Amino acid sequence: MSSNAGLRAYLYASVAPIMFGAIALASTGASAAPCTGPGAPTNTQTKCLTAVQIAGAPLRSFDISWVNPDRAEYYLGDRSNAGVDIVDTQHLTFKRTIGGFVGIVLNGKGAVDNNHSGPDGVTSHGRWVYAGDGNSTLHVIDLDSPTATATKQILSTGGSTRVDEMALTTDGGLLIAANNAEDPPFATLFAANGDSPVSHTASILRITVDPTIIPAGFGLSLEQPAWDPRTQRFYTSIPIIANNPTGCNYGQLSGPITCHGGVLITDPTHPVAVEGAYNATSNTGVVPLNACSPNGMTVGPHHTLLAGCNPGNNPSDVTTLVFSDKTPQNSANINGITGSDEVWFNAGDNRYYLGASKDCTTPGTPCGATSAFTADLGVVSGTSLLIEKVPQSSNSHSVAADSKRNLIFVPQVAPVAVVGSGGDTTTVGAGICGSNSGCIAVYQHDVDEDHEEAEEHHDHDHGE
């Protein structure tokens, strides 16, 4: 028996009856096992393994998630319960929620106001979790402390909207966080805690982008950053930049957006307050991207990064992009998957996983309409080939993987009938969760099967 098969057997024999046997679907009153209900994926390589239920209110709104494989923990910015949820990735059990965030804030129409709700971005190093809130603050959480005293610092970035996605250097000593909803948007570079037992996080510099690249007054944004250990640079996705191509519409004209996005490359050891056009000598500044308006960003193999392009930003950008870390002008488009928010490279199985909540692969104005989108977990090989798309609940835009255990975690919202605006409008989430409360779906790609298939092909090719 393969190690992964053994893990599956253990989970279903030991964990599932305890956690999920008594779960009842509100619509039917009947018990349901996770991954088996209507709409749950049944014929994909990336198998739905089980689901973890989150204590508290049903999941209506969440944002970014993160995994620390060394601690065997998954963290989710759970607005529905106004805290960071912590899941044990070894035993696949819910552990606790660290609260103190603003939670869900509604706009005048009763929908979730993403710009002021929180928590939002989440990342971690060692005992420290960093999470952005909807009131423009950064929470610094000590995982080795009791829940009631875990939050050690709350730092303002000086804005009026959420601190969103963020990234840390490998040693955990420097953090960059984006205030994506400010106009113009900005990032904050922090001195973070590294491996210190005491929290001493402090702001170093606010970073903006030259107004000829990100003009003010049009709601333009900064999104997910990633840290590249080889170049020692942060790469932050920019959904839309001006003049990419020349004369395009970034909002200054009527009609659909026609400008593509870019990537901001920052050297944290020599940061500048206003980043300009790309400088190849220093490998810093803003690089225009080809046919991509990205939200997500992650570092993959072969010295490349994957940008999660999103037609919600530009209706014509219906691919995903990979580019070189040292020569970012060198890029290639991946067809068949788009609409990503958070993206993640899992070194354990050499695959990218994309939280593609706005997947829409037909170019044009319909890709800018909410009704045109489907929600998928995109699976892309380390060689940048689309492997498959696994259906998810509506608004399922967050994904993180445990590279030591090759487990992929994708939060699912509860049905719209339960939570209202922002809820799942399909049967997929409830089918995956085995409940109507939302959940954290757990997927696994069986690496052993890949190895066995490769060995079979090798034996066949050599007549063995």
**309's tokens:** 């392009």
Name the pLDDT band for 370 (thresholds 50, 70, 90): confident
Banded pLDDT at 396 (limits 50, 70, 90): very high
**C-alpha R_g of the chain:** 21
The amino acid sitting at 325 is D
CA distances from 208 to 222, 265, 297 (A): 10, 12, 19
Question: SS3 for 456?
Answer: helix
Q: Taking Cα atoms as reference points, which of 160, 108, 166, 98 lies closest to residue 132?
A: 166
Has residue 119 got a pLDDT over 90?
yes
pLDDT at position 24 over 80: no
Of the candidates 420, 415, 400, the residue with the CA atom closest to the CA atom of residue 355:
400
In 383-425, which residue ranges form alpha helices assigned H by DSSP?
A: 416-419
Q: Among 216, 103, 120, which residue's Cα sits nearest to residue 165?
A: 120
**pTM of the entire predicted model:** 0.90
397-406 pLDDT, tens digit each: 999 999 999 9
Residue 22: predicted pLDDT: 32
**Please, are residues 203 and 157 in contact by the beta-carbon 8 Å criterion?**
yes
Rounded CA-CA distance 130/108 in Å is: 30
| pLDDT on residue 450 | 56
The model's pLDDT over 315-357, given as tens digits with 9 standing for 90+, comes to 999 999 999 999 999 999 999 999 999 999 999 999 999 999 9
Nearest CA-CA partner of 402 in 91, 166, 152: 91
CA proximity to 321, closest of 352, 367, 347, 278: 352
Report pLDDT digits (tens) over 26-66.
443 344 799 999 989 888 999 999 999 999 999 999 999 99
Strands lying side by side in the sheet with 174-179? 166-168, 174-179, 186-191, 202-209, 274-275
Checking if the pLDDT of 147 tops 50, the result is yes
When pLDDT is cut at 50, 70 and 90, the band that residue 371 belongs to is confident
The neighbouring-strand residues paired with 304 are 324
* Amino acid 324: pLDDT: 97
pLDDT, tens digit, for every residue of 74-88?
999 999 999 999 999
pLDDT digit string, tens, across residues 377-392: 999 999 999 999 999 9
Domains (range + CATH), the chain: 1-55+413-464 (no CATH), 56-400 (2.130.10.10)
Q: Quick one: pLDDT at residue 23?
A: 34
Tell me the pLDDT band of 10, cut-offs 50, 70 and 90: very low
**Residue 189 tokens, joined:** 């570079």
Task: Give the sheet arrangement for strand 400-402, strand by strand.
Answer: 46-52, 439-445, 407-412, 400-402
Average pLDDT over residues 294-316: 96
Distance (Å, rounded) from C-alpha 114 to C-alpha 394? 16
Local confidence band at 9 (pLDDT 50, 70, 90 cut-offs): very low
Q: Which residue has the higher pLDDT, 356 or 10?
A: 356
The Cα–Cα gap between 19 and 13 comes to 11
* 107 vs 459, residue with greater confidence: 107
The 294-299 sheet, strands edge to edge: 294-299, 304-309, 320-324, 331-334
Q: What is the pLDDT of residue 366?
A: 78
pLDDT band at 313 (very low <50, low <70, confident <90, very high): very high
Measure the CA–CA gap between 104 and 347, rounded to whole angstroms: 34
Quote the percentage of the chain above a pLDDT of 70.
89
Digit-coded pLDDT (tens) for 434-464: 999 999 999 998 766 554 444 443 343 434 3
Name the residue among 32, 49, 68 with its Cα closest to residue 390.
49
Residue 336 neighbours by CB distance under 10 Å: 16
- What's the pLDDT tens digit per position in 235-254? 999 999 999 999 999 999 99
3-class DSSP string for 190-216: EECCCCCCCCCCEEEEEEEECCCCCCC
CA distances in angstroms from 345 to 305, 342, 349, 350, listed in the order given: 9, 11, 9, 7
Reported as a pLDDT band with limits 50, 70 and 90, residue 368 is: confident
**Distance, CA of 214 to CA of 206 (rounded, Å):** 15
* Over residues 302-315, mean pLDDT: 95
What pLDDT shows up at residue 448?
60
Kindly report, residue by residue over 108-117, the tens digit of the pLDDT. 999 999 999 9
Position 8 scores a pLDDT of 38
**Which sign does the torsion angle of CA 152, 156, 161, 165 carry?**
negative
pLDDT at 263 over 50: yes
**How does strand 374-381 pair with strand 285-288?**
unpaired
Q: Which two tokens stand for residue 19?
A: 């956690």
Q: Quote the percentage of the chain above a pLDDT of 90.
A: 85
Residue 191 scores a pLDDT above 70: yes
Q: Over the chain, what is the mean pLDDT?
A: 90
Handedness of CA 181, 184, 185, 187 (dihedral sign): negative
